[in-house]
Amino acid sequence: MSAPAREAGGAALVAIDMQVVFAQPGGPWAAPGFAAAADGLRRLLPAFAGRTVWTRYVAPRDPQGAWRAYFAQWPFALVPPDDPLYDLADGLDPEGAPVVTATTFGKWGPELDAATGHAEELVVAGVSTDCCVLSTVLPAADAGRRVRVVADACAGASAADHARALDAMRLYAPLVEVTTVDEVLDGLRGVVAGPD
């Protein structure tokens, strides 16, 4: 992230887990709206050049505690972090932007905070709305970050789960705001143009 963005407290875009495992139609962890979410994310990327961070979920090498039962249910996902299943999906290239990899659904923590340049505002897109997005947004908001969740650049395990997760995050207003790609881009244009 550029120094001016950090100094200005500019918003950072966080692209959560836009990976093959969630993009494969019919796959066990497929997000049916993945393609539409990816399209929304692609529209946002140019506006956040130099201010984008990507995340990846990977399975732990040796699941502990409740994760053992989880991976007993989903053994297909218990593969090494460099398995193609956990690659970013085709057409989504971080182009040198930071990539934060974690074995937890939630990605918020010191590493993501540092990768965003300690941005005071996070614009969040990705999958799945009802799991990794939700699990990242709430701790970030709890840490005092303003979080804008871009509904049409996110996708859930189902349309109903996506909607329920967005409704849950709306309960955290004004720390969390649910918005759209157009609203984010219009707001950025307004900042660039300045007052009349």
pTM: 0.92
Please give the pLDDT value at position 191: 59
- 105 C-beta neighbours (distance < 10 Å), count: 15
- Confirm or reject CATH 3.30.1780.10 for domain 3-191, answering yes or no: no
Longest dimension (CA), the chain: 59
CA–CA gap between residue 62 and residue 105 (Å, rounded)? 16
Please give the pLDDT value at position 180: 98
Please give the pLDDT value at position 189: 79
CA–CA gap between residue 101 and residue 107 (Å, rounded)? 8
Mean pLDDT for back-to-back runs of 10 residues, the chain (196 residues): 42 98 95 98 96 98 96 97 97 95 98 97 98 98 98 98 98 98 90 52
Scan for tokens 């990507």, then name that residue.
54
Q: Where are the domains of the chain?
A: 3-191
Please give the pLDDT value at position 32: 96
Please give the pLDDT value at position 190: 67
